[in-house]
Amino acid sequence: MPVYPDAPYFEILPDWICEIFADCHVGGGRAIWPKYAEYGIPHGWILDLATQAVENYRLSGKYWTYWSAHEDVVRAEPFEECEFDLRVLF
């Protein structure tokens, strides 16, 4: 975002979303993902606390495609240049 707007909201869509799932969200947590796809957000991650893993998804047309899963270290789109150590979280 080149300029931080003086407004209570943003009109710029993110390039990436990340949701954190706890046990209570399993099964129903992805309900909003079709809306993310409709808006054209190209990358999504799910940090699943139950499995202690990150799932990486890529938008393909109107649908999300499962891309990869990571349990120890994450290096995935759109941050493939960075490495995230999940072991510090769990």
The pLDDT tens digits along the chain (90 residues) read 677 788 888 888 899 999 988 876 555 667 889 999 999 999 999 998 888 899 999 999 999 999 999 999 999 999 989 999 998 888
CA-CA-CA-CA dihedral for 37, 82, 56, 64, to nearest 10: 20
Q: How far apart (Å, rounded) are the C-alpha atoms in residues 54 and 77?
A: 12
- Domain edges within the chain: 16-88
Q: Enumerate the β-bridge partners of residue 47.
A: 20, 54
pTM: 0.81
What is the b/e burial string over 40-69, where b = at least 16 CB atoms within 10 angstroms of the residue's CB?
Answer: ebbbbbbbbeeeebbbbbbbeeeebeeeee
Q: How distant is the alpha carbon of residue 23 from its chain centre? A: 17
Q: State which fold the 16-88 domain adopts.
A: tt1808, chain A (3.90.1570)
Q: What is the three-class DSSP state of 50?
A: coil
